[in-house]
Each structure stands twice: as structure tokens, then as C-alpha cells.
Amino acid sequence: MAEEYLNYRNKRLFIENVDFEKLVNKFGTPLYVYSFSELTKNIKAYQEAFSSCKTLFCYACKANSNFELLRIIGRSGFGADIVSGGELFVSLKAGISPKKIVYSGVGKRGDEILYALNSDILMFNVESEEELLEINRIAISLNKKARISFRINPDVDPETHHYIATGLALSKFGIDIKEAEKLYQKAARLKGIEVVGCQMHIGSQLTKLSPIIEAAHKLVGLVKKLNKKGIKISLLDLGGGLGITYKNEKVPALSMLAKRILPLIEELGVTLILEPGRSIVGNTGVLLTKVLYLKNKRNKNFVIIDAGMNDLIRPSLYDAYHEIIPCVNKSNKMIKADIVGPVCESGDFLAKERAMPFVNNNSYLCVRSAGAYGFSMASNYNFRLKPAEVLVKGDKYYLIRDRENLSDLLVNQKTAVGV
């Protein structure tokens, strides 16, 4: 298996050195399980690849915002790339220094900007002129200066799924690179603004270096122009987006990315910021699920499981592929089936027409590469309870989020008295 922490022993699946059955018996299913060894391996890979350059890694919290995982990532020296006041709150509580936090996203509310300014974060990645003016207004009201970069849209095709492509001209994200120089000059004149950076993020699940390098060339060219005009850029943020292997994608090595990027920026004298998310946690986690029923309808097979689109929405939302393997690998008989969940939607599936070993009801499946955009996009649709999360380290395992219970479904709901 691609993930070294997943292995079969006597045809039974182990996660690091823990038998899957121990986990499902103790915590139930659906169940997210994360590998400590894989997480720390991915963190170290970035640190080693870019060790020759002054670099700040800001983990993209949206990929997986579990508190314990954030604590581990923060202790490694990483900062955080956030897109909400909630992510700021959790990152700070997890011990991540505000001086290592960058705030991205197109729709920052006034109260979120206020919170970030009072927290003294490293910088805002500004997405529009109106946002710039709002940050300036709030900073002045606090007698502060907001450190900002502009998120530049370089109009580069990232060659990924169109829902997660963010660097094209018609995307909602970023400042058109043709308008950027003028906007930087305006920002430099504002009383509540300190211009410190230049940023891009062209998309997620990128498996080719050429779009990243093309966009980086454009950003470096802009920084050189700004420096000549007296607008000193000290932070160059090239975003995140490097992909992982879900099926048969060939993902370039981090050493190759560093080899292509570092010569581009070495003359600028900047601190490089990278915002990895999926490539840190994606292959770190799996989703364990129980087979409830087998169904055959007009010679079409369905494997009905207890995990649904509310637990892992990527297949329904992006038609994303996740490899699904049996937790007990004892059947040589193969079937082709749709692997579907219990949610009342035709789009509730984890795989369609998937060739797989035959399984029985009450057996278990493992959905691989589910560490990114799995639990973080989970919901209570159909009033389904969100799953528990467990961290495995060697032969030990730790509950890092309780499974919801029925009482949790009514938390924050109110009765309209008198109605």
C-alpha cells in the first residue's frame, strides 16, 4: 500500500500497529483514524525540502481542523493558513503563534478582521479593493496597522478539478495581476495598512509543477516591479495545493518543487511562505465503515455502508476517487458494485461501479486517503451524528474527538415560546 502505516497481517488490516477491529469495537463506525507517523513524516518532508531557504509553513486548517492534529502540527514549528474567525480561534488555542498565522478567504467579516487585528496575526491575504478599505478602516479605529499582502490571481490553469481551481481569471479568488500594481500603490498610502507580502494560491490537488512555476514567475516579476517603486515585499507566499495520490496520480517530489522555486526567489531576499494542507493530512487518515446490507437490483450490486455523504462528501461533490479496501482481506471472489451510504439522496455514494473483493454484511471497509476534506466537510444532514476521530501512534490509540450523541443534535436549538 502507498501509505506505509496501512498493512495486512494475517489478512487483517492494521493501522500502524493497531488491529482495525480494536478500534471499531471500542469506538464504533463510521470512524476517522489518523496515523501519527504519517503526519510527522509529511511535516518533516516539507522542512527538509526547503531547509536551505528561510521558510514559514502555514498549514491550511480547512483541510482538517481537528484540535489535536493542529497541536501536533503547531508544535512542529508550522503556522496556520486560516479562512475564518473560527479557524483563528482554534489555531490560537492549539498554541500556534499569531505571528505565524495568515488570513485568507474572499469574505472576511468585520468582526473577524477585528479579532485578527487584536490577535496581531502575521498578515491578511487581501482579495479585493473593498476588503482592503475595510481592513484599513478597522485598523485605524484600533490605532493599529494591518500587515497585508494581496492574493494575486495570475490567470494560470492549475489543471485540476474546476471546483478547486482558483487561479483562473474568472475565479472569485484574488486580484487580477494586471490591476495589482495600482492597488499596491493605493495600499501603501493608507494610514492603517502596512504592505509586507505578495501571495497566490492557484488551486488544490495539483499534480504538475508547471502551473505552479508559471504562476510563481509572474509573482516574482510583480515583486521586482514593486520593489523598484519603493514598495518593499518581505514575504512571498506561494500558497499550497500540492496533491496526493488517491488512485494513480504521479505527484512530484517536494525536492523537485524546491529545486524549481528556490532559484526564482533567492535574489529577492524574502521569507517564503507555503500553505500545505492536503499534502500534510490527506494520506494521514482513513475512514472505517461497516457494511450494513448487500443489494442486487437488475443485476446491479450495491454495498450499503454506514458512512454517507455527510461523513465524506468528496465523491458526491467532486466525483472524487477514494480507494476502498476490505478490513479483512480473505475473499478471492471479485464483484463490481456501487458503494453507497444511508443518506436519502441519490448522490450518496463513496464509489460507483467499483471492482472489489466480495464482502458480507457486518464486515468492514477502509476508505483510504480520507484525512483531508473528510471530517472538516462533514455535516449533520438527515440528523446523522458526526463520527469520532482517533489518532494511532505505534501500538497505542487516542480518542481525539467524541462521536456525537443524540442530545448533541438539539444543542443550540431553541423553542419559539408562545408559538
Annotated catalytic residues are 344
Helix (H) or strand (E) holding 196: strand 193-199
Give the DSSP per-residue string, 65-78: --HHHHHHHHHTT-
| Alpha carbon of residue 302 to chain centroid | 30
Dist CA 371 CA 377 (whole Å): 11
| Residue 197 near residue 268 (C-beta atoms within 8 A) | no
Strands (E), 285-401: 285-297, 300-305, 324-326, 334-340, 349-357, 364-367, 388-393, 396-401
Length reported for the chain = 419
The span from the CA of 371 to the CA of 314, in Å, is 12
Biggest alpha carbon distance in the chain? 71
CA distances from 140 to 113, 120, 370 (A): 12, 14, 43
C-alpha closest to that of 148 among 177, 166, 127, 169: 127
Q: CA-to-CA distance for 169 and 154, rounded, in angstroms?
A: 7
Quickly list DSSP for 134-158.
Answer: HHHHHHHHTT--EEEEEEEE-----
Q: Which three cell numbers stand for residue 26?
A: 471500542
- What string of H, E and C letters represents the secondary structure of 3-31? CCCEEEECCEEEECCEEHHHHHHHHCCCE
